[in-house]
Amino acid sequence: MKRLTSIKLTLCIALAIAVFLCSKITYATVEISSITENNVISVTVQFPAPIITEANLYHHVGMEDVSSIGNPGEPVLPTKGVNILLPAGKKIKNSRVILGEKITLPGTYLVEPGGEPAPLTDKIEGTLPKDAIYKSNNPFPSEIKKEITIQEMCGYRIAVFNLFPIEYIPKDGRLSYYKSITLKLNLKEDVAKRIKIRNSPADKEKIRQLVVNPQDLYSYDMQMK
């Protein structure tokens, strides 16, 4: 009986160690935090190190939790979309970014170019890289952030931005990434915009899941009172 108990105890310890080790084998992922104060929304995105793999003649640059996209003939790089809820009665006055630590990766890389869209039934051929970009010493992309659009969903206004954490110098083949990017939106009153939302918990939950600053939902509640 003592021998059986000892075996069970040994198995339990081994299982606990295995579970502990498995819990440690995880990939770093994107972390996002936000704060709204004095008509300023600050959104900070923490980026993990990029994952680079060889793809034929080129290198594919990926990043956990971030999609890699690129126009035809242009470098395909990680692009993080950020949805920001604009508080009720506010609009964007201007925006800027604050960059965190910049890490330059060792080695040189030829980043794969984006391909031309084609029907699934067609034979897909490689798209040649654009010389104007790949023979340039200018950083690509040329900007860290890009405001895509301001959309309205269920009466809530959402600003959509793209953030580009990777900097590529095509001619030299150098790759760098920013460990964090903070996007700051300065707001001002939007007196011309009338708030029209339904008092729907389902709508509110949908928005809560979509945006990075759900704490600003309360501003719409205040407008309805």
List, for residues 101-120, the tens digit of each pLDDT value. 999 999 999 999 999 876 55
Q: Which domain holds residue 175?
A: 29-224
Q: Answer yes or no: is pLDDT of 27 > 60.
A: no
Q: What is the pLDDT of residues 56-91, one digit of tens each?
A: 899 999 999 999 999 999 999 999 999 999 999 999
Dihedrals phi, psi of 20, to nearest 5 degrees: -60, -45
| pLDDT at res. 64 | 94
| pLDDT at res. 161 | 97
Q: Percentage of the chain with pLDDT > 90?
A: 70
The verdict on residue 23 lying in a domain is no
- Tell me how many helices (H) and strands (E) the chain has: 4, 13
The verdict on residue 57 lying in a domain is yes
The verdict on residue 45 lying in a domain is yes
| pLDDT at res. 153 | 92
The verdict on residue 10 lying in a domain is no
The verdict on residue 69 lying in a domain is yes
The verdict on residue 1 lying in a domain is no
Distance between CA atoms of residues 216 and 208, nearest Å: 9
| pLDDT at res. 118 | 61
Tally of domains in the chain:
1
Provide the token pair at 29: 């992922």
**Which CATH number covers residue 162?**
2.60.40.3800
For the residues 178-206, what does the mean pLDDT come to?
A: 89
Higher per-residue pLDDT: 224 or 170: 170
Distance between CA atoms of residues 93 and 72, nearest Å: 33
